[in-house]
Chains A and B, each alone.
Chain A
Amino acid sequence: GENVEQHPSTLSVQEGDSAVIKCTYSDSASNYFPWYKQELGKGPQLIIDIRSNVGEKKDQRIAVTLNKTAKHFSLHITETQPEDSAVYFCAASRDDKIIFGKGTRLHILP
């Protein structure tokens, strides 16, 4: 089955700097890659997603890249703000089942 690895597990960045989270997946048939943000006491919320026929997608300060050959995908957050502090999960999906990575706890330092 699919296995998603995510790094780093914890990331601290100065406010205003960029944050990068990297993931790999194992199942070449996975075709949908969502990123979720989870704040304390809440369910995961989708922040951006990318499909396998696209290499890069951007939405304001958030961008995601996908390298299907290498089975790598990554999340880039620019100009980080205090409200970006949360746990971020990458995920890979084929059909209906979403397989999550272990999460990255992002701390934005003042």
Chain B
Amino acid sequence: EPEVTQTPSHQVTQMGQEVILRCVPISNHLYFYWYRQILGQKVEFLVSFYNNEISEKSEIFDDQFSVERPDGSNFTLKIRSTKLEDSAMYFCASNRTSGESEQFFGPGTRLTVL
């Protein structure tokens, strides 16, 4: 069964450093998302992406964040200058159609900012 994959599974970085989190969505999916989950809290929407453009973003997704689909398979989240409060699990998700349809989540990348 096709699945969303994410790398790395765990990323440790120093405050102020840039990180890139990578995702490979399911191959025939067209809509891509990033969510984050701070330890013990709920999953929060960050951004949705379709047709090489951001469709919607939350207030969390400020100028330090960016997303890119550099080739036909990868979908990346870049955090330009990490802060301690960026420590969280970051989940990538994808679906084939927008709106009322299942989003398939990856296993997540645990980001630890020291």
List the interface of chain A (C-beta within 8 A of B). Answer: 31-32, 34, 36, 41-46, 49, 51, 89, 93, 95-103
The interface size bin for chain B is 20 to 34
Whether the pair B56, A95 counts as a contact (CB closer than 8 A) is yes
> Is A45 touching B45 in the complex (CB atoms < 8 A)?
no
B58 proximity list for chain A (CB < 8 A): 97
Given the contacts A32-B99, A93-B100, A101-B42, A43 and B48 also touching, CB distance less than 8 Å: no
Q: Is the CB of A95 within 8 A of B98?
A: yes
> B106 at interface (Cβ–Cβ under 8 A)?
yes
| A97-B56 contact in complex given A51-B100, A89-B42, C-beta closer than 8 Å | yes
User: Which residues of the other chain, A, contact B98 by a CB distance below 8 angstroms?
Assistant: 95-96
Q: Is the CB of A96 within 8 A of B42?
A: no
| Sample of 9 more A-B contacts, CB < 8 Å, known A34-B102, A96-B98, A99-B45 | A34-B103, A43-B4, A43-B105, A44-B91, A93-B100, A97-B48, A97-B58, A100-B42, A102-B42
Per a CB cutoff under 8 Å, which of A32, A93, A103 touches B42? A103
B residues less than 8 Å from A44 (CB atoms): 43, 91, 105
Bound: A32/B100 CA distance, A: 5
Partner of B99, one of A41, A43, A96, A101: A96
Q: Which residue of A lies closest to B58 (CB)?
A: A97
Residues of chain B within 8 A (CB-CB) of A103 are 42
User: A46 to chain B: which residues have CB within 8 Å?
Assistant: 102-104
> In whole angstroms, what is the CA distance A100 to B33 when docked?
14
- Let me know if A95 and B42 touch, CB within 8 A: no
B108 interface residue per 8 A CB criterion: yes
